[in-house]
């Protein structure tokens, strides 16, 4: 007994005619008759009584019809599901993003991207960058978006697509430096600065940059990510060297109510993002489509704020 025989059998049961079944399935009448004959032979059971040109099903054929219909309908469903998965139109997604982008930009992108997806389930987590790197290393997510930080002393168990872009100085619009076209690290000597925690890659970069020009890195406010610093910048409490996605988010959400301006930093001060995919966990078609779309969306947003983004792959 095979699926072709069951398909022929169901059509014969529904039409009661060899000729109608042959016409519907695009096969010859002898081929239909042979399929029924072979099915009966495999079951060692007559399924039809021949009355002239009509086939009259025996009672046992009714049971086989119910069972075979369930099998064939299930097969059709599975085939359709696999087609949707192949075309990245259905499936599940497990992603994580660092706190800043996960507040607005990243979930907005996901919601727009899957708007026309027919059957979609998502697990979305907001995690710190070290946590996202750990999730990618343990193959626990489809992909993650985090700050890039080159691991020391161990081989990462993930691929990293790195996108670096120019940083900006966020400051009150009335600050004297707000009128400059570009701000250097030397311009910020002893200015009250808001920044990320001391172990963050950008904080380490800034510490070195200030030291190299003999400037004082005067940190008066530290935060896990940049958005909580916006009210302090609005009140004139501090300035901050921020990543370009913070510029995008502030322009969208207007946390600073128009009081904050963003001036490009000199080219040496750049921010590194990373899109992380597990090394030993192949991506589904849906996950690959969304990951690639996010990389394109990210580059477009960074270009839109003149952050001069560049990309490279590691691992």
- 168-268 matches 90-162+278-299 in CATH topology: yes
pLDDT of residue 91: 66
Kindly tell me the burial class for residue 55, based on how many C-beta atoms sit within 10 Å of its own C-beta (0-12, 13-18, 19 or more).
buried
pTM listed for this prediction: 0.72
Amino acid 88: pLDDT: 47
Q: Please report the pLDDT score of residue 8 as a whole number.
A: 86
- The whole-number pLDDT of residue 282 equals 84
Instruction: Give every residue of the chain whose pLDDT is below 50, as ranges.
Output: 85, 88
**Could you name the CATH architecture of 3-86?**
Orthogonal Bundle (1.10)
User: What homologous superfamily is domain 90-162+278-299 in, according to CATH?
Assistant: Periplasmic binding protein-like II (3.40.190.10)
Residue 193: predicted pLDDT: 97
What is the CATH number assigned to the segment(s) 168-268? Answer: 3.40.190.10
* pLDDT score of 166: 96
Whole-number pLDDT of residue 299: 96
**Domain boundary assignment for the chain:** 3-86, 90-162+278-299, 168-268
């Amino acid at each position: 007994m095979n699926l072709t025989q069951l398909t022929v059998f169901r059509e014969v049961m529904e039409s009661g005619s060899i000729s109608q079944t042959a016409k519907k399935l695009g096969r010859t009448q002898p081929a239909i008759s042979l399929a029924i004959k072979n099915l009966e032979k495999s079951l060692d059971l007559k399924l039809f009584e021949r009355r002239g040109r009509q086939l009259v099903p025996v009672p046992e054929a009714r049971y086989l019809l119910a069972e075979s219909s369930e099998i064939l309908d299930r097969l059709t469903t599975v085939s359709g599901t696999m087609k949707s998965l192949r075309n990245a139109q259905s499936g599940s997604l497990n992603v994580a993003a660092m706190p800043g982008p996960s507040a607005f930009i990243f979930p907005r992108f996901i919601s727009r991207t899957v708007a026309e997806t027919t059957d979609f389930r998502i697990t979305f987590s907001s995690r710190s960058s070290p946590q996202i790197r750990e999730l990618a290393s343990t193959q626990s997510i489809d992909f993650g978006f985090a700050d890039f930080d080159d691991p020391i002393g161990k081989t990462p168990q993930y691929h990293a697509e790195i996108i670096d872009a120019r940083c900006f100085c966020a400051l009150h619009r009335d600050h004297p430096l707000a009128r400059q076209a570009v701000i250097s690290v030397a311009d910020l000597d002893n200015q009250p600065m808001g920044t990320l925690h001391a172990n963050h890659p950008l904080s380490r970069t800034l510490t070195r940059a200030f030291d190299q020009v003999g400037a004082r890195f005067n940190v008066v406010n530290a935060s896990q990510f940049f958005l909580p610093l916006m009210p302090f910048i609005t009140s004139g409490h501090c300035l901050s060297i921020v990543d370009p996605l913070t510029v995008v988010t502030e322009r969208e959400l207007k946390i600073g109510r128009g009081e904050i301006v963003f001036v490009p930093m000199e080219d040496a001060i750049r921010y590194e993002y990373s899109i992380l995919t597990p090394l030993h966990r192949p991506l589904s078609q849906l996950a690959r489509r969304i990951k690639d779309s996010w990389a394109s969306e990210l580059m477009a947003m960074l270009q839109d704020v003149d952050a001069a983004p560049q990309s490279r792959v590691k691992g």
